[in-house]
Structure 1
Amino acid sequence: MKALGPQDPETLGRYRMLAMIGRGGMGQVLLGRGPDGRLVAVKRIHPQFTASTEFRARFRREVLASQQVTGAYTAGVVDHDADAEMPWLASEYIAGPSLQEAVGEFGKLNSSGLRLLATGLAMALLEIHRTGLIHRDLKPSNVLLTNDGPRVIDFGIARALEDDVALTATGAVLGSPAYMSPEQAECRPLTPASDVFAVGAILAMAAFGASPFEAASTPQVLYNVLYRTPDTSALPEGLRPLVDACLAKDPAQRPTPEQLLDVASGLDATPVWPVRILRRIADHRAEAGRWAAGLGAVDEPPPNRPVFGGTPRRASLVFGAAAVSALVLAGIAFLGIGMDGHALAMSDPPLALTVDEARRLDVCELLKPDVLRDFGKHTAELTNNGADGCSTIYGWDEDQTFFTFNVAVPQAEIIRDKTSFGATIAWMPVVGQRKEAAICDRSVLTQSGLPLAITMQAQVKPSKRDGCPAAERALAAVVHRLSVNPPLVDYESDSVMLLDPCAVLDRAAVLPIIGDPALPRVDGPHGCMALGPDGAVGLAFDDRMRPDNGSDNKDKVMTVAGRTAYIDLQSPHHCVLITMHRPTRDDRAEIVKLAFYPNAPSPAACDTAAALFAPILTKLPIS
């Protein structure tokens, strides 16, 4: 946390503000103290967002949903003002680490801890469901540990059951993939059984040390949730049948919270946390007591900020990692504050591109001197490598840096092949293949909207130099521009570049070829890949060199759905077909590309690719 600034409020309602816990692109979170000395966490929304009637309506629904939940195993709203110019929400403060933090630091829980966790979560579900709510985002970071047991927080995306159909009509998926029920992952109507599934996943995580559906990418996590039965053989005797029942794919086969409580209460273990967790809870309670006494942090110099009467006020920068977990960040799904488990001030908000912005990015604008202003003279033309990539050179003959920027690399590939080196840009971990190299790449993964890997490669000359610092600095400059004002292309209304390739990919045609299940996976702003047990099919849109002009394959053609399709690659192991949607400028055109990769060699790979391509081409806008 940090001291309050000149623009931060002295009070909100009856609460005196003590410190800033975090600031994001949508709002800020402050630590407050009530007239009775009680500490609260206050979420306050920036006024530029509250002009929207829809936004204010969502905030009011959040408050109403949160206020309905009370009880020993939950934490709720204590006060609010949804009609203020800058609406705010005060939540009960809980002194204790999150389950995510505790397991990450101390490892998996023993049988006693698991019994206390299971019993407390069952009691929490009884209270939540009693009010007619579904939590929808139960996960380890939303479970805080106190001496009395777990406390469930964050009811920001809980919704009244009677409003469920209306509120999910947009098809938005709210929740955390590794703890999401199969019906939630498929955007089907939810019942309280969805929360029971999440409890099963949380118990497994606490027993194993990781989610039972953990994978390298979000699409693989969702695949596991939908189709794979996790191995629970390592669970303690007595707990395994309970977790298996909670993780049933069919909601009707899961136990009720009452049944969950009965089984958990009968486990052969004393319900108590391990000693290390009890000590950590005591640490948090001691820190909370210091704040409540108005002592703040030790050795923290007071900021030069006058209050009533001109006396400087002191606020602590230290409050413990559990503070943010205890904030009851209700509505984080639409606030985008992006904090989870660490009380750190956010001077630079996380990057949050909308889907429309991601598809309309002008990538070459991001390599211009007004963005990369610290790399010397811009000595080469911008080279467009398609809609999602661009290259250029900065510097002189003997001291050059060749930059290549791309937003189309699949996230799964980044996660699999690259390593985090500890740095962050806009609260996103920076990853790369090598710590030092003359040709060095650095990437960050977007935290909202389309899942994108934003990658900058720097090749320095002379080659004895390290290109990694340049790659990281250039990536930071690009991310900053994207956060402030992303440059966008004004595509024509009939452009394929505005389409969602996963929506255009014909699932009915794909399933018989690559097998069921075939889960689509986003591959950059303009690509989609469907993976199945018998092969893979990819669909992509691009703006690049015309296939009928100068291509080595311009004479390798076939007719698909009345259009000329160019065979870009062909072998028994793959076939890539390209059609031209419409010319754009010079020798470039918007193209549509379909790639087919059978698991078993097929001499008729291109015939199969053509059969898959045909229904897609009929869906495209007429140019």
Structure 2
Amino acid sequence: MTLRGGDPAEIGGYRLEARLGSGGMGTVFLGRTDSGRPVAIKLIHQQYAADEEFRIRFRQEVAAARRVSGAFTAAVVDAAPDAEQPWMATTYIEGPTLAQRVSTEGPLAGAPLRTLAIGLTEALRDIHRAGVVHRDLKPSNVVLSPEGPRVIDFGISRAADQQTLTMTGRVIGTPPFMSPEQLQDPRGVGPRSDVFSLGTLLVYAATGQGPFDADSPYLSAYQVVHEEPALGPVPALLRAVVEPCLAKEPEGRPTAGELLVRLRDLPTDLGDAAAPAAPARTRDTATQHHPPARDATAPGPDPAAEKPAGGRLRRSWRPVLAAAVAVAAVGGGIAAVTTDGLGSRTDPRDDGRSHSVAAPGVPLPKGFTPWRTTVRGGREDIPDELRCIARGDTLFCGGGGVLATRIRSADGSRVWTRTSPGVPVQGMHLVGATADTVLGYRISDRYPKGEVVALDADNGRERWSAPSGAQSMAVTGRSQDAVLMGSSVVTVDAANTRFEARDARSGRLAWTTPFPAHTQCSPVPAGPHLYAMCAPSAEIDDVEVRHPTLRPLDRASGVPGRPVAVDGPAVPMGVAAGRLVLLQVHLRGPAMAGYEGVARFDPATRRVTYSRLPEPVEGTPGMADGTVYVSGQTGRVTALDPLTGRRKWARQTSVEGASGPVAGLGALYFSSATGRVVALSPHDGTVLWTTGPQADGLTGEQGASPRAAVAGRALVVAAARNTLVAFDTRRPPATG
């Protein structure tokens, strides 16, 4: 839907492209970030901007959406709830809503129906674990993305521990999908109200009609409170699981976690529902927000003519599920692993519980107890930038207004902290640490581009400093203008004309190497080797690096080798089989849209070989133990073989916007700015455990460097607002 006359051209710096829909509270637009990434922006209607009641609701929506950060919700990218006309931007999820899918193609059946049921229940579990009650689950608030169903619109949600906003004279919700207690006593609504709504959604998905459909919302509301649900057309196996969700009393319903266990025990083929007697419809009155797209949960064979007996049977929760599981076992076995529609597996153990990471013989730091601390920086409005390096029983951290700090890994106590008064360059974190020296970045009036500062590791006193350039992002796609190579630090000078190598402890200049004419360069470490990656200045000025070159640099003298051309743009990742691995960037117009291939530079033959990925992969890249990983904004992690470009595995996780990987103790750790962590098996991506959020942060940042550090058997995670959390990897924090 194109923009209309009177629509804004931009909101909060995001340029607008189209309308996605309009509801009672606001209009949703499709916008773009400066890098070209799409976002969905909800703008409160002007007539409500001065209504304090609606402003309170919108603040609640923003707060709730920020608290919820799972693989099945839309992450908040930005928000201005106190603006003259409030707005919120979230990750844009492409795909039809469940209402659109059922309206155009009919009800779901078989495996797609089971996948939808599991995905929505996982979403509800994550929402409740974050302490949020959604309160408005309905078909137009479920988007069927290619990576699975997503729950959107937290407009009337609330934290489980907050008082419900009093809405005088108004029914807030959609009656056919509301629980009895939501209609009768909104202040008493808890997580099991959402379970009731989920039950109505699954009936709708399976039959095209809700269990309380009527010709008016008033009749629907009466049926919800007083009458039995219409479940006749629902497949018998699913009906046995859904029926307890629709109990009139909340305590008679399962929790989302209990429901998830039962759903996973059902066979892939749930059986088909009979076609509804009347055309599919719903009393879902909200405007749908997302344009139709190819549905990843397309229906299987046409529904069979079988009609299971209808009517609600009064049974308790456990006997109903026992019967369902027994039928499933007779019908061909209980599925242990499901398929997510893109060829990868969804691990049924990803229930948020702890699955121990094997770490035989690896101790915790002496005297360790789980801890949490906040490191205050020079500015309170600095975005998430803190990163840490583990050295024995010590952590050195920097970024986020902190030049560097030394922290005891056992208890989180600080030995010393040096702050930076300026705003750090995006992505500029701690440079590194030797046995006696810590190197960080500082921004100052004297050096607005920044300078590298060396501190005494014992007491934090400054040893030396040197101005540094800040253009490596344009060349390599990464902010890495200074790298530590052994006992030397290699930087780019302030004028962006040459490399400079200094002794890390003394700052003594060892060598300088000028950039080739009309180019700008960045240092690229690759194991024991050092490379210069350069790009034509004209291409950097045009923000279109297409012809970068690589040349080895002698670490002792800085003497460069002959250049080798690389098809760009490309991002250096690390070393595999002695070769420098780069990811080739996929462009959509001038904007980056993921990665489309792998390039390998062999220093022995001075050749670059290429492998094209089967399809572009979007997200934050990283490399560990010879494998490249891309962590998507929606929580999907893809493992790539850098020598062939083939996908090793892909895994959907519940941690959105994660960076990583950090490898250690037989696991890979990916974490987000909220402090959520998922531990995956390097072998096949099996989810070992997942934690809940540790801080109120946004998960929209792409390309972030890893936020975790391994200290013995402990994991230290950096989250938003310079928060650090440490825990035993054998006993990770609970998700809820």
Give TM class, smaller chain: 0.3 to 0.5
After TM superposition, the score normalised by the length of structure 1 is: 0.42
**Larger helix proportion of the pair:** 1
After TM superposition, the score normalised by the length of structure 2 is: 0.36
**Larger strand proportion of the pair:** 2
